[in-house]
Amino acid sequence: MEDLMKLRESIDEIDSEIVRLYKERMEISKHVAEYKITTGKKVFDKAREDEKLEKLSSLAEDEFLKHGVVELFEQIMSTSRKKQYQLMTEHGIVEKEDFTEVDSLDFSNARIVFQGVEGAYSQLAMKTYFGENCNGYNVDTWKDAMEDIKCGEADYAVLPIENSSAGIVSENYDLLVEYDNYIVGEQIVKIDHALLGLEDADESDITSVFSHKQSLMQCSDFLEEHKQWEKFSVSNNAVAARKVKEDNDKHQAAIASAKNAQIYGLKVLRNSIQDNKNNSTRFIVVTGKKIYTKVANHISICFEVNHESGALYHALSHFIYNGINMTNIQSRPLQNKNWEYRFFVDFDGTFEDDAVQNALRGLKEETISFKILGTY
């Protein structure tokens, strides 16, 4: 049996030779980048890379080695591309994003739209962000709000995008793709759900409860203690509170904020019934203009990738290689493409950062249907 130390020495020698050849290859890649910079040729040439991977894998004897060769050279070529993107930025080839920087958002005569009725959490988010006396109005659906931005009826819309307990508001992710409206701000609101009923009702009287589906999920532990209650989903928590008041049925209750008890003349039957006592919802502020403030330091994007092994990994590697902190990733299914997805990513950075420029350049070239959703 060969001595382990000698085997390790042999591996060390081979590894040193691999590093030497890798450095030599990367030096040649720099010349390739310079040629592409001069000619305007794109960095990513998928057909060329696929052809090369097939040729290289054919040099291996068995399937295990073939797979390893492909994985190795996919990584090498991916790193080579990232170096080329970096060199393009260093040469001053910067793709100016089609967004305009402003000193601050103009709220002076702004009309702001939110979904729901008086007392909705969206209204609370709006007043927290824009001020108590802002010029706000309500619509029935989130799509209505986005449509009002598109048509110029409103300057800004406030939409819930994610809850710390129940997860994403999937419909609003889809609306960000459907409409050319852009995120310019965010507001986090603490969510404290209460059980509301008529003034003469007690908790023991309740047989049915109404709320938004997200709120029902956020109070699942409490509702599990009352399995006999029928649960009904409505468009908004404040709508649920208004319904209980209008129906005047003491067997009905709403899950909403305690503030809705004051607004609609109801009684708080139980406070803080949400599972997570630190429950919060993140709201986004959107507008129809491609603008951002000079203090913006978060960027939201979406993209699709080819439905093949490693595609998402290679897309996300642009954040790793450029040292960018990715703060959120979500996915939504693509219409008419079963089991294929669109990915939504939030990350720290600004358009002026070289690292961000490198990452965005790579993502634009190597993904499908890339879109910047806003910076804020």
pLDDT in tens, 316-329: 999 999 999 999 99
Instruction: Give pLDDT, residue 95.
Output: 74
pTM of this prediction? Answer: 0.85
pLDDT confidence bin for 176, thresholds 50/70/90: very high
The fold for domain 193-270 equals D-Maltodextrin-Binding Protein; domain 2 (3.40.190)
In contact, 175 and 167? CB cutoff 8 Å: no
Q: What are the φ and ψ backbone dihedral angles of 374, each rounded to 5 degrees?
A: 150, 165
pLDDT confidence bin for 173, thresholds 50/70/90: very high
pLDDT confidence bin for 120, thresholds 50/70/90: very high
Evaluate if residue 89 carries a pLDDT over 90: no
Mean pLDDT score, 182-206: 97
Query: Distance between CA atoms of 145 and 154, rounded to whole angstroms?
Result: 8
Determine which one of 281, 287, 367, 375 is catalytic: 281
Tens digits of residue pLDDT in 253-284: 999 999 999 999 999 999 999 999 999 999 99
Tokens representing residue 99 in the block: 């967004």
Query: Distance between CA atoms of 119 and 259, rounded to whole angstroms?
Result: 7
- Residue at 197: amino acid letter: G
CATH class belonging to 1-93: mainly alpha
In contact, 374 and 184? CB cutoff 8 Å: yes
Instruction: Give pLDDT, residue 208.
Output: 98
What CATH code is assigned to 100-191+280-293? 3.40.190.10
Evaluate if residue 91 carries a pLDDT over 90: no
pLDDT confidence bin for 294, thresholds 50/70/90: very high
376, burial (CB in 10 Å: exposed 0-12, middle 13-18, buried 19+)? buried
Q: Measure the N-to-C terminal CA separation of the chain; round to a whole number of Å.
A: 63
Instruction: Give pLDDT, residue 92.
Output: 82
Task: State the number of CA atoms in the 13 A half-sphere of 333 facing the CB.
Answer: 5
Instruction: Give pLDDT, residue 96.
Output: 76
In Å, what is the CA distance from 141 to each residue of 34, 183, 186?
52, 18, 19
Evaluate if residue 313 carries a pLDDT over 90: yes
Strands 208-211 and 267-270: unpaired
Clarify whether 281 is annotated catalytic: yes
For the chain, domain boundaries: 1-93, 100-191+280-293, 193-270
Evaluate if residue 336 carries a pLDDT over 90: no
Mean pLDDT score, 226-233: 97
Percent of the chain whose predicted confidence (pLDDT) is above 90: 89
Instruction: Give pLDDT, residue 1.
Output: 62
- Worst-scoring range by mean pLDDT, 88-102, 148-162, 180-194? 88-102
Query: Distance between CA atoms of 341 and 335, rounded to whole angstroms?
Result: 9
Query: Distance between CA atoms of 126 and 156, rounded to whole angstroms?
Result: 10
Are the folds of 1-93 and 193-270 the same? no
Evaluate if residue 287 carries a pLDDT over 70: yes
Clarify whether 283 is annotated catalytic: yes
Mean pLDDT score, 348-364: 95
Tens digits of residue pLDDT in 45-70: 989 999 999 999 999 989 999 999 99
Q: How far is CA 49 from the centre of its chain?
A: 30
Tens digits of residue pLDDT in 130-152: 999 999 999 999 999 999 999 99
Determine which one of 283, 303, 344, 347 is catalytic: 283
Q: List beta partners, residue 300.
A: 346, 374
Mean pLDDT score, 233-246: 95
Evaluate if residue 344 carries a pLDDT over 90: yes
